Amino acid sequence: MTRVVADITISLDGFVTGPDAGPENGLGTGGRPLHTWAFSDDPGDQRFLQQGMERSGAVVMGRHLFDVVDGPGGWNDEVGYGAGEVGRPPFVVVTSEPPASVRLSELDWTFVTTGLADAIAVARDRVEAAPATGRERDVVLMGGGALIGSALAAGLVDELSLHIAPLLLGAGTPIFVAGPPRALVQRAAVVTSTATHLTYDVL
């Protein structure tokens, strides 16, 4: 069965960006070290990165994150979702209004204007309609923080994968928002030279 996996990097104090994040400053002030692990040579980091790419049957993101990755300083052939493998999964964007144009037109974009639950349903349909590969494929929520926080609060997430950077940002975009309590079952905890990778089932 297709699972919905929230996969995101956070600081030790729970922020997914530093302050003043925006299209020209995607990770906010001081936020660039958050993703050091994704470019690390540490075998543990590389294993998590590769596993994340392999399981991505479809990727859901919010409009703010789309504006960052599709902006002039966003994804390219070397930097993106899987870099050299970018474009393999379809991308589903939750937005109130589709953009007038898309820079990364070679990627498979779907814009959903009827809310997060519908966007996840569209992504699930895309995963389940894809040809079988012999590997499990999931719907991956890659952010931003507000989208993942909202998905957790709404009970839409099956698995939470956190990559905790050894960094205190003090302010920025938090991942967790007010909502009902959620029980978690810890499935894995791996410490590398640049991050702590935690995997939970969400009950």
Per-residue pLDDT tens over the stretch 135-156:
788 999 998 889 999 999 999 9
User: Quick one: which H or E segment has residue 11?
Assistant: strand 4-11
The packing angle between helices 116-129 and 145-153, to 10°, is 90
Q: What whole-number percentage of the chain has pLDDT above 70? A: 97
Q: In this structure, what DSSP letter does residue 131 have?
A: P
- Has residue 40 got a pLDDT over 60? yes
Q: pLDDT at position 168, please?
A: 97
Q: What whole-number percentage of the chain has pLDDT above 90? A: 69
* Average pLDDT over every residue of 90-114: 95
- Measured CA to CA, the distance from residue 128 to residue 120 in angstroms comes to 12
Tens digits of per-residue pLDDT, 73-90? 888 877 776 545 544 789
Strand ranges for 28-174 from DSSP E: 56-62, 91-94, 109-112, 138-143, 159-165, 173-174
User: Structure tokens of 27?
Assistant: 């990770």
The values of phi and psi at residue 85, to 5°, are -100, 5
Domain-wise residue ranges, the chain: 4-202
Q: pLDDT at position 83, please?
A: 42
Count other Cβ atoms within 10 Å, centred on residue 176.
Answer: 14
Q: pLDDT at position 85, please?
A: 52
Q: 4-202 has which CATH code?
A: 3.40.430.10
